[in-house]
Structure 1
Amino acid sequence: MNTKKILYVAIPTVLLLTLYLFFAKGETDATQITVKVERGTFQSIIFSSGQLESEKSESIQIPEKLRDRNLRINELAITDMVEEGTLVDSGDYVATLDHKAVEEQIKQAQDEMERTLSEYEDSKIDSNLNLSNQRDLIVNAKLDMAEKRIIMEESIYESPSIQKKASMDNDKAARKLEQEQKAYKLKKQQEENRVQRRYISYRQILERYEELKNLFTNLEVRAHKAGIITYFKFPWGEVIKVGSKVGWYNSTIATIPEMTNLISRTYINEIDISKIKNGQKVNLGIDAFPEKQLNGEVIAVANIGQAMPNSDAKVFEVKIKIFGADKDLKP
């Protein structure tokens, strides 16, 4: 009886002792971390990636002739273009526009020119025929009036009624001649206007045909000054490159940046944008040159955010002026 009691008491005691040793050992082995409290300036640093751009640049435009709306060419594709970053001199090749599209326009203009020339020649023939018929009517009216005058002169030996009728017939013939002469003048003016319109249409098509042939030989775009070629970028991110369409509404193909005035354009999320102010100093690093460090200053902060692709979050455009110049930097 005593043995059982001792066993029952011993088992809980051993368990309690084991648990105590386990947790006590864990507390003993735990490393205590301590930090010394110091007073100082708290720095809130924002990191963001961006692109180098030139604050000032000169545009390389499409050929001047392509901007003429009379050519009726809204746009042409770029079929060839030098690589971005290429160093060019004044007059060097930059890009080529689609010759095939212009060639098709030349063929259409030639067909239209031949058609309008044929219409012009036909209008001259029709005009001559119509005026010839009108002149015949005048000749007939003159003969009729001469005949009526003779009859009137011979009627002096007739009764008064016959004389009066002869006089009336003569007056009618005179009015008929006058009407035919006026009709001829109006008809002549009408035919001249019709022929002139045909001629103007032909000349317009002819001039367009000649301008298209001239454009066909001037579809190469060349640099007007020395510099580094930078592809033209739209505000929404689209870049002009081989295959892009250019025309009178979008005449810039590339730009030549001024390398002494560089800026960086970056986008800050809506959480951090309240921390960005004009005039703040900026430290910049270059991915291509990790050893280079640049200094800059915030010069513009957008007031309106832009939606990020596939996200409800917004970002705000920030422009940073870069101080100094470096020959290795390219936009």
Structure 2
Amino acid sequence: MSKDTNLTSKRRWIALGIVATLIIGYFVFRKGDEKNTILTAKAIQQDLVITVETTGELDALNSVKIKGPDGMRKARIWQAKINRLIEEGTTVKKGDFVAEIDKSSLSDQIKNATDDVTLAESNMIQQKLDTTLTLRQSRDNILNLKYQVEESIIKLEQSAFEPPATIKQAKMNVEKNRRSLKQAKMNYRIKCDQMEAKMKQISTKFSKKRRQLDFLLKLEKEFVIFAPEDGMVVYHKDEWSGQKVKEGSNIHGFNPVVATLPDLSKMVSKTFINEVDIRRIKLKQKVEIGLDAFPEKRYSGVVTKVANVGEQKPNSDAKVFEVEITINESDPIFRPSMTTSNRIITKIVEDQKLIPIEALYTDNDSIFYIYKKQGFGFKKTVVTVGDQNDHDVAILTGIENNDVVSLNRIEE
């Protein structure tokens, strides 16, 4: 074998040894330092979109309420149980049956009101009879007194030739009978007024009892509820418990809504924003909307209502504010109470250098820095920070487009 051949073979073996050593060293190093694997990302130049993300529920912008009896409070019925309901989502025509309310408490009132009307009517009839009899007696008395006056006048005329004392007595009898007649006529008018007032009082009482009974009978018919318009039935959700109306639930006199007939052509997403983020929410902000039931579907919307007063949700200490988002599109798949994912765009900062928020570090909340790749290593670099969202942060100084940064904190 020649000298050159031996030299080439020797070099080949040396090269193979170096490669093998590097491979073994790589795996040994990797095995011992797996925890320190460095993840990186590139700075990119684009708009920074700042959003508030929240979950909401679909609801119709316009709907017709299906209400229970409006007169429950007037009848002093503060709540009533629902005995029957048709299935939610049923499409109904105007006048179709929807629900039936238990009317046992109303039935007791109707029975009592009927008894009151019967008694009042009996009293009114009795008063009419008493009035007729009393006034008839008074009229007969007046007629008798008239006869007495006429008789006394005749006796006075016949006593013209009698002694003066007899004539005087006859005159006195005439005056006495006339006075009695006059008094009887006055008493008759007073009795007429008294009887009229008493009759009016009893009649008013009877009319009042009759109106109350008529009201209760009319209210009884409203305990069977029918659809006021065509549409799909969606049951009302209690504002406090969050539970939907169902058979066995109670409806309340102050808000007897049982269900709604939503107009599905125009929908809104109703959501609640915590008190920390609500200051960032404004009217007319654009919103990106998704449906949990159809992840492939995307819609656009706009903020159309922001509550001025917060509320505390059940089982939570945090205050929230209701926000209503009107959806621009219409879709046959829309159904009330579907869960939506809402991405409210609160601000867009144009043409920014962005890095993942995980790549930004600080030790004292005033100086921010990153680990920027230089050569085969990374250099700790102080940066000036701009706006940020949940994923990215804008870097104003200290970085250029396409610079590589570490997502890991690098020990120096």
Shared fold, TM over 0.5: yes
Deviation at 1:142, TM superposition (A): 2.5
In 2, distance between residues paired with 1:217 and 1:301?
40
CA deviation string 1:5-57 (max 9, x = no partner): xxxxxxxxxxxxxxxxxxxx99x846352645515444444321111111111
Superposed CA deviations along residues 46-97 of structure 1, whole A, max 9, x for unmatched, are 321111111111122346xx6499x846556232222332222222211112
1:80-116 per-position Cα deviation (integer Å, ceiling 9, x unaligned) = 2223322222222111122323322221122112211
Q: Which residue in the other structure is 2:302 paired with?
A: 297
Whether 1:80 aligns to 2:55 is no
In structure 1, give the amino acid aligned to 2:137. Answer: N
Matches within 5 A, 1:37-186: 38-40=43-45, 41-62=47-68, 67=71, 72=75, 74=77, 77=80, 78-160=82-164, 162-186=166-190
**Compared CA separation, residues 197 and 34, structure 1 to 2 (3 A):** closer
Is the alpha carbon distance of 1:113 and 1:328 closer, same or farther for their aligned partners in structure 2, counting shifts above 3 Å? Answer: same
CA contact under 8 A between 1:155 and 1:162: conserved in structure 2? yes
Which structure's residues are more often strand, by fraction?
2
| One-letter code aligned to 2:301 | G
Q: How far off its partner does 1:240 sit?
A: 4.9
RMSD: 3.2
- Residue in structure 2 matched with residue 187 of structure 1 by the alignment: 191
Count of matched residue positions in the alignment of Structure 1 and Structure 2: 302
Stretch deviating more after TM superposition (48-57 or 151-160): 151-160
Cα distance in 2 between the residues matched to 1:297 and 1:137: 90
* Secondary structure of 1:265's aligned partner: strand
1:51 is paired with a residue whose SS is: strand
Please name the residue that 1:16 is paired with: none
Pick the aligned partner of 2:226 from 201, 222, 225.
Answer: 222
Q: Which runs of 5+ in 1 are unaligned?
A: 1-24
Measure the CA separation in 2 of the matches of 1:215 and 1:275.
49
Q: Is the 8 A contact 1:298 1:321 kept in 2?
A: yes
Q: Which runs of 5+ in 2 are unaligned?
A: 1-28, 337-412
Q: Is the 8 A contact 2:240 2:314 kept in 1?
A: no
What TM-score does the superposition give when structure 1 sets the normalisation length?
0.77
Q: Look up the SS of the partner of 1:290 in the other structure.
A: strand
Hey, what's the Cα distance between the residues in 2 that align with 1:215 and 1:325? 39
**2:264 equivalent among 259, 262, 268:** 259
In percent, how many aligned pairs have the same letter?
34
What is the distance in 1 between the residues matched to 2:164 and 2:128?
Answer: 51
* Counterparts in 2 of 1:118 and 1:304: CA distance versus 1, 3 Å: closer
Work out whether residues 68 and 222 of structure 2, in 8 Å CA contact, stay in contact via their aligned partners in 1.
no
Higher share in helix: 1
Once residues 60 and 335 of structure 2 are traced to their aligned partners in structure 1, the CA distance between those partners, rounded to angstroms, is 9
The one-letter code of the counterpart of 2:268 is I
Q: 1:325 aligns with which of 330, 349, 359?
A: 330
Tell me which residue corresponds to 1:277.
282
The alpha-carbon distance between structure 1 residues 176 and 240, as it changes in their structure 2 partners (threshold 3 A), is farther
Amino acid at match of 1:53: D
- The SS at the match of 2:104 is helix
Whole-Å separation in 2 of the counterparts to 1:303 and 1:199: 54
Q: Which moved more, 1:85-94 or 1:255-264?
A: 85-94
**Cα distance in 2, alignment partners of residues 205 and 106 from structure 1:** 11
Query: Contact 2:77–2:105 at 8 Å: present in 1 too?
Result: no
Contact kept in structure 2, 1:246 and 1:253, CA below 8 Å: no
TM-score (norm 2): 0.63
Q: Assess if the C-alpha contact under 8 Å between 2:304 and 2:324 holds in 1.
A: yes
Q: Using the alignment, how far apart are the partners of 1:251 and 1:313 within structure 2?
A: 29
Q: How does 1:227-242 map to 2 (within 5 A)?
A: 227-233=231-237, 240-242=245-247
What letter matches 1:228 in structure 2? M
Of the structure 1 ranges 190-199 and 263-272, higher mean CA displacement relative to structure 2 is found in 190-199
Partner Cα distance (1:287, 1:156) in 2: 122
